């Protein structure tokens, strides 16, 4: 895999105009199972093809000048899937880190993992740590991997961490502001997602980035994740470019 260093703004074919990219795009990579089932293949084949899509998306995000992409690769609820599928997904993560880490590092990609590491097999937790440590000082695309992630648990973890600081006298209750709370989340220091893309036609957040999505734009696409290609990504970026974000205020025109 190679993540191209040349960062060109996306020119929308429809309008012939330059589209300002979102700074942070988050992906709910849904539909691997349905993609495989529709082809008479085992669900795991869908995940394998999904990894290929992920590689293309990372490369394309770099080309489009996006700073951060977050991918929902394993939710804290995914443990309830059949054991064979869970262990396939664990193996896929292992292969992704082992095979792609050096190329991602060469392409100046910085990897950050969000989610709980507590219930992970020590070998996997160590690999995730290695990916973060190796790429910590990189300055290109930030790749945030949500693994064993659930937003409600993340929020509870942040609340506990802040409560602990108040208990130890490090903070006063009145110091718990939105900024302090954001900083205590797994995503502390990262910008909130501007755009959240979910493939496969489902229109829900599924416990993904609940706090951070307060002002995100949503884009739902009918394609299953393995079919999500560069053209589909560009379509989402063009759609985002046409949205008006008001953050609860009014358009300048309306004032
Ligand atoms: C949702 O599709 C997808 C997942 C639970 C896993 C996503 C994993 C990848 C795209 C591969 C890359 C993975 C890693 C670990 C880097 P689904 O299985 O829920 O599909 P369905 O809704 O059609 O059943």
Q: Is residue 13 part of a domain?
A: no
**CATH number for the domain harbouring residue 223:** 3.40.1180.10
Burial class (CB in 10 A: 0-12, 13-18, 19+), 206: middle
Give the annotated binding-site residues for substrate.
Answer: 31-35, 43, 47, 75-77, 79, 81, 198, 204-206
For residue 214, what is the DSSP state? Answer: T
Give the number of domains in the chain. Answer: 1
- Residue-wise pLDDT tens for the chain (255 aa)? 444 444 555 555 444 446 689 999 999 999 999 999 999 999 999 999 999 999 999 999 999 999 999 999 999 999 999 999 999 999 999 999 999 999 999 999 999 999 999 889 999 999 999 999 999 999 999 999 999 999 999 999 999 999 999 999 999 999 999 999 999 999 999 999 999 999 999 999 999 999 999 999 999 999 999 999 999 999 999 999 999 888 888 776 666
Whole-Å CA distances, 46 to 51, 53, 210: 9, 10, 27
Pick the atom of ligand 1 nearest to 92's CA: 15
Range of the domain at 204: 24-242
Q: Is residue 255 part of a domain?
A: no
Q: Packing angle between helix 83-106 and helix 122-135, nearest 10 degrees?
A: 20
Return the SS3 of 229. coil
């Amino acid at each position: 895999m190679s993540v191209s260093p040349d960062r060109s703004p996306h020119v929308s074919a429809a309008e012939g105009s330059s589209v300002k990219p979102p700074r942070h795009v988050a992906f709910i990579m849904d539909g691997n199972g349905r993609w495989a089932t529709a082809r008479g293949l085992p669900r795991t084949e869908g995940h394998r093809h999904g990894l290929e899509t992920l590689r293309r998306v990372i490369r394309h995000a770099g080309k489009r000048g996006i700073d951060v992409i977050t991918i929902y690769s394993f939710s804290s609820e995914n443990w309830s899937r059949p054991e064979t599928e869970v262990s396939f997904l664990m193996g896929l993560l292992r292969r992704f880190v082992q095979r792609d880490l050096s190329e991602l590092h060469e392409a100046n990609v910085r990897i950050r993992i969000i989610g709980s590491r507590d219930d992970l097999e020590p070998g996997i937790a160590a690999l995730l740590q290695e990916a973060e440590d190796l790429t910590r000082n990189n300055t290109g695309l930030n790749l945030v991997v949500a693994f064993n992630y659930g937003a409600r648990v993340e929020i509870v973890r942040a609340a506990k961490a802040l409560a602990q600081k108040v208990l130890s006298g490090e903070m006063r209750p009145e110091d718990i502001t939105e900024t302090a709370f954001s900083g205590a989340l797994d995503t502390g220091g990262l910008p909130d997602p501007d755009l959240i893309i979910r493939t496969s036609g489902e229109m829900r957040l599924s416990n993904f980035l609940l706090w951070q999505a307060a002002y995100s734009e949503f884009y739902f696409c009918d394609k299953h994740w393995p079919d999500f290609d560069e053209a589909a990504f560009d379509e989402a970026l063009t759609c985002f470019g046409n949205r008006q974000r008001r953050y609860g205020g009014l358009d300048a025109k309306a004032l």
